[in-house]
Amino acid sequence: MKMRGIVYVVVSQAKYLEAALTSALCLRQHDSKTPITIISDLPILNHLAVQQYGISPRLLEPAEIVEIPFFSRYLKTKIGSYSPYRETLYLDADILPINDISELWSYLNHGDLAMVEDLLPQIKMCGHVAPEEVEFTLRDLPGETTQYNSGVMLWRNTPKIKAFFAKWHAEWLRFQKHDQLALVRAIAQSQLSIAKIPKSYNTSPRDAEPLIKQGERIHMLHLWGGKVASGRFSKLSMRYCPEAVKAVANVLDAAKQRENLLTAGFPLEQQGIQEIVSWKNQGNTWQMPEFTDHTLEPKAG
């Protein structure tokens, strides 16, 4: 088991895979070494040439895939068993790292699990959650109980954390919709100590504005609420890390070309795109574009 790493989970939607890759390569502008794992059910994952960026794709096995409406949350609530690291930073695919996050790891010294308080910091404020789950949660916990945002989570692989993830998954299975009230219930049952991470590591662009005015440095933006599907995530990514966006586009294009060649029966090695310049298919010459490495160094100024 590797010492430390970052994990993303992406299921069903290619747009979120693109977002996770963009997030990972934006992170590479500030951290060139920490291993990254992307877990997904999307077959194109096996065709991504991302090892050069220190990213390990992990394609789910058929037996690991469950046909339910919120499979991403099914998987997220048991992500502790999928992480190959002793110390894990989990990031939602719609998290956009825009500054160095190296100090984040120090919060592991202050709790079993580290997270940012949610925008709705108390469970009695969860009007967006099904009333029956809110009522169920409030039977055992006071309304002032802290709600945390599960888009950024940090933990060490310990027996206590393993038991917590088992409880979180079991609690999520009760209602199988939102994951954060299940998270609150699992924390209470596990008696975990929570290290509160500053909001600058998990905040929306709108909520970042007052923090910036107070002189805080924003480390990661959380573009929740459909901003990946709407294209807002891509636009903001182009503002903060344009080279990463271009690199992701090339990686995905190469993967699609590779997938098409394999579908057509053209043999390719597993390592990645070969240096093939042409291929004759049914009498026509098809030219493969040349793919080159892209620097992810931030531009001056």
Q: What is the pLDDT of residues 18-59, one digit of tens each?
A: 999 999 999 999 999 999 999 999 999 999 999 999 999 999
Q: Give the model confidence (pLDDT) of 27-37 as tens digits.
A: 999 999 999 99
- Specify the pLDDT at position 264: 75
Contact yes or no for 47/258 (Cβ under 8 A): yes
Do strands 36-40 and 85-91 pair parallel, antiparallel, or not at all (unpaired)? unpaired
d(CA 41, CA 43): 6
pLDDT at 284 over 60: no
Is residue 132 domain-resident?
yes
- The CA-CA-CA angle for residues 146, 156, 208, to 5°, reads 45
- SS3 state of residue 200: helix
Is residue 278 domain-resident?
yes
Is residue 221 domain-resident?
yes
pLDDT at 85 over 80: yes
Is residue 301 domain-resident?
no
- Specify the pLDDT at position 259: 84
Q: Per-residue pLDDT averaged across 223-248, rounded?
A: 95
Q: Per-residue pLDDT averaged across 10-14, rounded?
A: 93
Q: Name the strand (E) or helix (H) holding 253.
A: helix 242-263
Q: Which candidate, 168, 24, 155, 153, places its Cα nearest to that of 86?
A: 155
Q: Per-residue pLDDT averaged across 74-102, rounded?
A: 97
Is residue 293 domain-resident?
no
Contact yes or no for 172/150 (Cβ under 8 A): no
pLDDT at 226 over 80: yes
Q: Give the model confidence (pLDDT) of 53-78 as tens digits.
A: 999 999 999 999 999 999 999 999 99
Residues 6+ apart with CB under 8 A from 122: 143, 144, 145, 146, 147
- Specify the pLDDT at position 258: 87
Buried b (16+ CB within 10 A) or exposed e, 103-138: ebeebbeebbbbbbbbbeeebeebeebeeebbebbe
Q: Per-residue pLDDT averaged across 196-216, rounded?
A: 94
- Residue 116's domain is classified under what CATH number? 3.90.550.10
Q: Per-residue pLDDT averaged across 149-155, rounded?
A: 98
Residues 6+ apart with CB under 8 A from 102: 30, 31
pLDDT at 283 over 50: no
> How would residue 287 be classed by pLDDT, with cut points 50, 70 and 90?
very low
Is residue 299 domain-resident?
no
Contact yes or no for 111/193 (Cβ under 8 A): yes
Q: Name the strand (E) or helix (H) holding 122.
A: strand 113-122
| Residue numbers of the domain that contains 139 | 2-287
Contact yes or no for 186/80 (Cβ under 8 A): no
- Specify the pLDDT at position 70: 95
Alpha helices for 62-220 (secondary structure H): 71-76, 131-138, 159-175, 180-190, 205-213
Best-predicted range by mean pLDDT (217-226, 257-266, 286-295): 217-226
Count the domains in the chain: 1
pLDDT at 296 over 70: no
Q: Per-residue pLDDT averaged across 128-135, rounded?
A: 95
Is residue 184 domain-resident?
yes
> How would residue 288 be classed by pLDDT, with cut points 50, 70 and 90?
very low
pLDDT at 102 over 70: yes
pLDDT at 156 over 70: yes
> How would residue 267 be classed by pLDDT, with cut points 50, 70 and 90?
low
**pTM to 2 decimals?**
0.87
Alpha helices for 29-98 (secondary structure H): 71-76
- Specify the pLDDT at position 235: 95
- Specify the pLDDT at position 268: 54
pLDDT at 270 over 80: no
Is residue 148 domain-resident?
yes
Q: Per-residue pLDDT averaged across 67-92, rounded?
A: 97
Q: Per-residue pLDDT averaged across 237-251, rounded?
A: 96
- The CA-CA-CA angle for residues 230, 234, 238, to 5°, reads 150
pLDDT at 298 over 70: no
- Specify the pLDDT at position 77: 98
